[in-house]
C-alpha cells in the first residue's frame, strides 16, 4: 500500500563515512557500548525480578524502563553495526524503514511516560510517605505501565503514517544510520508544511507533557528534602531520587535538541551525533547511574551474586 504513495521502494543508508579502519574502530566502540547496555539492563531486570527487597513500585518501573531501553537500542543499533561492516551502503526496504521508525518512536514515547511515572512515584514516597502504599499500590502501578506502552504505540501511528505518505522523488539515499524522520522529509518533493508543523506540535506534546509533571514533582521533592535534617535518612532520601533525576536531565536535554525542532530537515551531522547520544551513550550510562547511586539495589545485587556463587559452588 505504501508503494502507491511513494516512488521509493527501498532506502540506502550512508551511515558513517570514512576509511575501513575508521569504520572498524567505530564498530568496535559501538558494539562495546551496545553490549554493555544490554548486559546492564538485563542485570537490572534479573535483580529486580529475583530480589524480594526490590518488590516496590520504584523498581517495578525501573524493570520496565530497562526493557524499553533494550528494545529501543535493539531496533536501531544492530542495523547500524551491520552497516559499518558492509563495504558499500546498507539497503533497507520501505516496509522495514517504516517499521523501524514506528518502533523507535513508540518505544521512546513509552519511555518518557515511564520517566514521568517514576518521578510521581518519588514525589509520593518523599512528600506523602504515609499514604505511599495506598496510592502506589500494585493495581495502580500495573495500569500505569500498561497505559505507557499502549499510549506510546497508539500515539505514533499518525506521525509514521504521515511521514511515509510523502512522495520521495528526490533520492532514496538517507544521510543517516537509521530511518530518521527528518532525513525522510529531506528526500520528499512535497512541501509538507502542515505535516511538519503537526509533527513538531506532537513532539512538544510528548516531551513537555511528560516533562511538566516531572518538574513539578521534583520541585516538591527538593523542597521537602531541604527541610530534612542532615543525616542517614537525609542521604537515603537524596540517593533514591538522584539517579532518576540525573537520567531525566540527560535524557530530556538531548531529546529536546534532537526532536523538538520546527525544521525537521536539520543538518545530517547534527542529527547523527545527537542520535548517537540518545541511542548509544544514554543506554550505556543509564544502568550505571541507576545502580551506582542506589544503595539498596547495590546491596540486593551483591546478595544475589553471592547466592548465585553458592549455587554454582555447590
Q: Which CATH number do you get for residue 53?
A: 1.20.1070.10
DSSP class per residue in 148-207: HHHHHHHHTHHHHHHHTTS-B-S-SEESSSS--HHHHHHTBSS--HHHHHHHHHHHHHHH
Number of domains comprising the chain: 1
Q: What is the pLDDT of residue 1?
A: 38
- Residue 5 phi/psi, 5-degree rounding, is -110, 0
- For residue 284, the Cα-to-chain-centroid distance in whole angstroms is 11
Q: What is the pLDDT of residue 257?
A: 63
DSSP class per residue in 97-164: HHHHHHHHHHHHHHHHHHHHHHHHHHHHHHH-GGGHHHHT-HHHHHHHHHHHHHHHHHHTHHHHHHHT
CB-neighbour burial class of residue 71 (10 A; exposed 0-12, middle 13-18, buried 19+): middle
Q: What is the pLDDT of residue 191?
A: 63
Q: Are 239 and 295 in contact (CB under 8 A)?
A: yes
Q: Are 123 and 217 in contact (CB under 8 A)?
A: yes
Q: 225 CB contacts (<8 Å, ≥6 apart)? A: 126, 234, 237, 238, 241
Q: What is the pLDDT of residue 6?
A: 43
Query: Which residues span the domain enclosing 70?
Result: 2-313
What is the distance between the alpha carbons of residues 260 and 276, in angstroms, rounded to a whole number? 17
Please give the chain's pLDDT, 314 residues, in tens: 344 444 567 888 888 877 888 889 999 999 999 999 999 999 999 988 888 888 888 889 989 999 999 999 999 999 999 989 888 788 888 889 999 999 999 998 999 999 899 899 989 988 888 898 899 999 999 999 999 999 999 999 998 988 888 777 777 888 888 888 878 888 887 666 777 778 888 888 888 888 899 999 989 988 888 877 765 555 666 666 777 777 777 777 766 666 655 554 455 666 777 788 888 888 888 888 877 667 778 888 888 888 877 777 76
The size of the chain, in residues, is: 314
Q: What is the pLDDT of residue 213?
A: 92
**End-to-end alpha carbon distance in the chain:** 59
For Cα atoms 199, 200, 204, give the angle at the middle one, nearest 5 degrees. Answer: 115
Beta bridge partners of 12: 91, 173
Q: What is the pLDDT of residue 3?
A: 43
Amino acid at each position: 500500500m505504501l508503494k502507491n504513495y511513494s516512488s521509493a521502494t527501498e532506502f540506502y543508508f550512508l551511515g558513517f563515512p570514512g576509511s575501513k579502519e575508521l569504520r572498524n574502530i567505530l564498530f568496535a566502540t559501538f558494539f562495546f557500548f551496545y553490549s554493555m547496555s544490554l548486559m546492564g539492563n538485563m542485570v537490572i531486570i534479573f535483580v529486580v525480578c529475583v530480589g524480594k527487597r526490590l518488590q516496590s513500585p520504584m523498581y517495578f518501573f525501573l524493570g520496565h524502563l530497562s526493557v524499553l531501553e533494550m528494545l529501543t537500542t535493539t531496533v536501531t543499533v544492530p542495523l547500524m553495526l551491520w552497516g559499518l561492516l558492509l563495504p558499500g551502503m546498507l539497503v533497507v526496504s520501505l516496509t522495514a524503514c517504516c517499521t523501524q521508525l514506528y518502533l523507535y518512536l513508540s518505544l521512546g514515547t513509552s519511555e518518557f511516560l515511564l520517566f514521568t511515572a517514576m518521578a510521581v512515584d518519588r514525589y509520593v514516597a518523599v512528600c506523602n510517605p504515609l499514604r505511599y502504599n495506598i496510592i502506589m499500590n500494585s493495581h495502580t502501578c500495573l495500569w500505569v505501565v500498561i497505559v505507557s506502552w499502549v499510549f506510546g504505540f497508539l500515539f505514533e501511528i499518525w506521525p509514521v503514517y504521515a511521514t511515509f505518505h510523502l512522495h520521495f522523488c528526490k533520492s532514496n539515499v538517507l544521510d543517516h544510520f537509521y530511518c530518521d524522520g527528518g532525513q525522510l522529509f529531506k528526500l520528499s518533493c512535497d512541501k509538507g508544511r502542515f505535516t511538519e508543523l503537526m509533527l513538531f506540535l506532537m513532539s512538544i506534546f510528548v516531551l513537555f507533557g511528560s516533562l511538566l509533571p516531572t518538574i513539578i514533582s521534583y520541585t516538591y521533592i527538593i523542597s521537602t528534602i531541604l527541610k530534612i535534617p542532615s543525616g542517614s535518612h537525609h542521604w537515603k532520601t537524596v540517593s533514591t531520587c538522584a539517579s532518576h533525576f540525573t537520567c531525566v536531565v540527560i535524557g530530556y536535554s538531548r531529546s529536546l535538541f534532537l526532536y523538538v525542532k520546527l525544521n525537521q530537515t536539520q543538518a545530517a551531522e547534527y542529527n547523527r551525533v545527537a542520535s548517537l547520544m540518545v541511542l548509544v551513550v544514554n543506554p550505556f550510562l543509564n544502568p550505571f547511574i541507576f545502580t551506582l547511586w542506589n544503595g539498596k539495589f547495590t546491596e540486593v545485587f551483591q546478595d544475589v551474586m553471592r547466592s548465585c556463587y553458592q549455587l554454582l559452588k555447590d
